[in-house]
Copies of this chain bind each other. A is one copy, B any other.
Amino acid sequence: MATASANIAPPPTPRAASQRIGELDHAVAERHQRADARRNREKIIAAAEIAFRELGTAVQMEDIARRAKVGVGTLYRHFPTKEHLVAELATHCFSGCISEAETALATVDVWAAIECFVYRNAEQMATDAGLRDTFMAACQSGGIWAGERDRLNQRLATLLERAQANGSVRQDVTLGDVQALMCGLSAAIAGGGDWRRLASMMLAGLHAPPPTPAAP
């Protein structure tokens, strides 16, 4: 699994590689399509979201198809690859986080905004394996949904910058550290810790005064 687990196999066929996610994919979605097709797409996404929350990237395509009351063939008509489908779901996760980050950016008290951001995410992670897996995968550079991740990182970067200018976050913390921390928080919550305490500890670590001199 490591992690857990994640098992999106690298596409064995050359076929999938020929489609950029978010290009042709959306093009197909937009273009004139039959009513039943559109309906099925909705059903699939709805079912996939639930399953993703429950099982994370370990969801199985057949499981999703079953929940959506649709054949696997139909599933693959709409999403040529598991990776494409997961990317769609991960994008939803990210856009949620992004809008939270934006409300944080609109808040005057930077530190309170950060606290709020972290608590909100931690709370959701407690019941959403998909969100946790998304944060974990976000650390691997160059993933498929790198675009969305970078949009989030952009927000977090300015948030971090302000907080450091403000003195409310340790000066030596980098954006990479923040990313890693979110990833760590996911894992810790997945590991069964109490999300509230874990979030508060993470915040304390960020907030802390100048780092204590390192022990040998």
Q: Is A33 close to B, CB under 8 A? A: no
Q: Is A190 close to B, CB under 8 A? A: yes
Decide if B212 touches A193 in the complex (CB within 8 Å): no
CA distance A8 to B2 in the complex (A): 10
Q: In angstroms, how far is the closest chain B Cβ from the Cβ of A43?
A: 27
Q: In angstroms, how far is the closest chain B Cβ from the Cβ of A210?
A: 10
Q: Is the interface of A mostly helix, strand, loop or mixed?
A: helix
Q: Is A145 close to B, CB under 8 A? A: no
Looking at A2, A112, A212, A215, the one whose CB has the most chain B CB atoms below 10 A away is A2
CA distance A170 to B129 in the complex (A): 28
Q: Is A100 close to B, CB under 8 A? A: no
Decide if B177 touches A198 in the complex (CB within 8 Å): yes
Q: Per a CB cutoff under 8 Å, which of B56, B177, B208, B216 touches A2?
A: B56
In the complex formed, the residue of B with least CB distance to A194 is B177
Q: In angstroms, how far is the closest chain B Cβ from the Cβ of A82?
A: 13
Interface string of A185-216 (1 = CB under 8 A from B): 11111111110111011111111100110111
Looking at A5, A179, A185, A202, the one whose CB has the most chain B CB atoms below 10 A away is A5
CA distance A177 to B202 in the complex (A): 12
Decide if A181 touches B204 in the complex (CB within 8 Å): no
Contacts of A198 in B (CB 8 A): 177, 180-181, 184
Interface string of A164-185 (1 = CB under 8 A from B): 0000001011101101110111
CA distance A139 to B202 in the complex (A): 19
CA distance A207 to B139 in the complex (A): 27
Given contacts A3-B1, A3-B136, contact A201 B206 (CB under 8 A): yes
Q: In angstroms, how far is the closest chain B Cβ from the Cβ of A129?
A: 8
Q: List 7 A-B contacts (CB under 8 A).
A: A1-B8, A2-B5, A4-B136, A5-B7, A173-B201, A181-B198, A184-B185
Instruction: Report which A residues bind B (CB closer than 8 A).
Output: 1-8, 56-58, 112, 115-116, 119, 129, 132-133, 136-137, 139, 141, 170, 172-174, 176-177, 179-181, 183-194, 196-198, 200-208, 211-212, 214-216
